[in-house]
Chain A
Amino acid sequence: MRYEFNWSVLWSGQSGSWLLQGLLTTLEISALAWLLAAALGILSGALRTVPWPPLRAAAAFYVEFFRNVPLLVWMFFWYFGVPPLLPGAVQDWLFNHGAEFWAGMFALGVYHGARMSEVIRSGIQSIPRTQFEASQAIGLSVWQAYRLVILPIAIRLIVPPATNESLNLLKNSSVALTISVAELTFQTRQIETYTARAIEALTAGTLIYLVLCVSIAAVMTRLERRFAIPGLIARVGAG
């Protein structure tokens, strides 16, 4: 037998609006999680290189703990494990106001923050230590040295691996469907349920992810060129 393609299922009925809703939810959860991951990644990545051992140890603990447990487990942790720690009224309010979304966002953000941390750390460690010393020598505090010198350089150096990690985050956002977040993959499955058209729905989802990833990569490449440090890209490229 031959599979009869029927692409019209993707725009007939509610499919179009489901795909759009799914896309928006995916973008929303990924963007928020990305901000969280970037903040945690920069913080913990930087802490892993500072001259104070207890802070280094705390950051290392965060990274190893969160990145070595599967994302799915973290989804369940934030959705099932965390709310019982809150007062009953807060729980109920949360459950009525998108607890799934927020649990999924935290799971994604905290997990990818740990992975982002490694990227940032290796970026910082690729900066010669003398940059830090020069910052200290002109009187900058450790915090200022990181904020004004080390991180601005490190962040430019790590654009390619960070892009990679960001794309992983976007793709991993689909794991949130396990806790009932109606993101893009969820909606493609929904279309499949309604239309029994698996391949069409899957293709639509795949293409949307593909377009998203390719556009993000393109934007990041632009940013990388725009903010390139003269002389530095060549050095990293050569090294």
Chain B
Amino acid sequence: MKRLLALLLTLAVALGGAAPAFAETTLEKIERTGTLTIGTRTGSPPFGFVNKQNEWVGFSIDLVEQAIKPAIERKVGKSIKVEKKESTPATRIPLLTSNAVDLIAETMTDTRARRESVDFSLTFFVTGAQFLVNKRAPIKGIESIAGKRIAAQQGSTNARILRERVPTAQLREFPDQPAAFQALAQGQVDAYTNDGIQLAGLKAKAPNPGDWVIVGDFYSYEPYGMAMRKNESDFRHLVNVGLMEAIEAGKYFEIYEKWFGPKGEVPYPLTAENKRFMIMQVVPK
């Protein structure tokens, strides 16, 4: 038994260690294959989702297509195509480290812990955790959830913060949003917590959006970034340049309006504060 374990461990280490022998940089790989492979969501409107026409679209995807792709094309000197793979909170880091995708462009919060495993681009979206509750529910925010049953997205930072800040809340963690919302709708849980924007998306899609309200101050700061394999500063620089140019040229705000404007998939107007934050991330040429 012990020997078997040792063998397996050795195998795992050998596989992990063998990869770099024929590793190329991400940029070299994109140049060779003419393809940028991204990991994105299929069910997180409006960041990445499959729309009614069965097209895989979204805010994060548009940013890659219209801001990052041109910057990379300029660098490698040829046109490239963007290939999409599905990623989820649980799979996104393994997808990156296994080279299955080059860039995670979805709803991933930039955290210091995650920065130990992956690198992040500039922040491309800012939100914070809130609660979705029935309009008659007594919950008004994180201060009133003690003892309550709260659904959260499995693997999200929100669950982690709640566990630390309100240990008496009964957390129920679901791997996907529809199940969590179903639990809320049926009363298995009293509230569903997630980033405000996710909740806005869910509410917009609900059969009776009027029945649901998003409550509470942001109890977490959720800056969304695009994640890449660690220590590839050339590639990361290109991704950031793409984003900065889009902000500078106003392209970013157009795309924002398309998805989050009053006629967008999920209305979520850009606050003045957030707009200023976006602009201030752009460093001089």
Contact = CB atoms under 8 A, between A and B. Distances in A.
A80 interface: yes
Contact of A192 (B155, B159, B183): B155
A179 B179 CA distance: 7
Given A80-B182, A180-B151, A196-B93, A1 B230 contact: yes
Contacts of A197: 117
Given A193-B89, A193-B156, A180 B172 contact: yes
Interface string B143-186: 00000010100111101100000000010111110010011001
A201 to B, nearest CB: 10
Given A1-B231, A83-B186, A198-B93, A193 B155 contact: yes
B250 interface: no
Contacts of B9: 203
A174 to B, nearest CB: 11
Contacts of B264: none
A100 interface: yes
B274 interface: no
Contacts of B28: none
Given A1-B20, A76-B179, A186-B173, A95 B118 contact: no
B283 interface: no
A180 B173 contact: yes
Interface in A172-213: 177-180, 182, 186, 189-190, 192-199, 202-203, 207, 210-211
Interface string B187-226: 1110000000000000000000000000000000000000
Given A178-B175, A196-B118, A99 B154 contact: no
B174 A178 contact: yes
A3 B98 CA distance: 9
B91 to A, nearest CB: 8
Contacts of B116: 195-196
Nearest to A81: B186
Contact of A96 (B93, B149, B183): B149
A1 B23 contact: yes
B127 interface: no
B252 to A, nearest CB: 27
A84 B187 CA distance: 9
B177 to A, nearest CB: 12
Contacts of B160: 193-194
Contacts of A196: 93, 111, 113-114, 116-118
A195 B113 contact: yes
B113 A194 contact: yes
A84 B182 CA distance: 12
Interface in B1-28: 1, 4-5, 8-9, 12-13, 16-17, 19-20, 23
B90 interface: yes
Interface of A: 1-3, 5, 76, 79-80, 83-84, 91-92, 95-96, 99-100, 177-180, 182, 186, 189-190, 192-199, 202-203, 207, 210-211, 214
10 contacts: A1-B232, A76-B179, A92-B187, A95-B188, A177-B175, A180-B151, A193-B160, A196-B93, A199-B94, A203-B9
Interface of B: 1, 4-5, 8-9, 12-13, 16-17, 19-20, 23, 89-90, 93-94, 97, 111, 113-114, 116-118, 149, 151, 154-157, 159-160, 170, 172-176, 179, 182-183, 186-189, 229-232
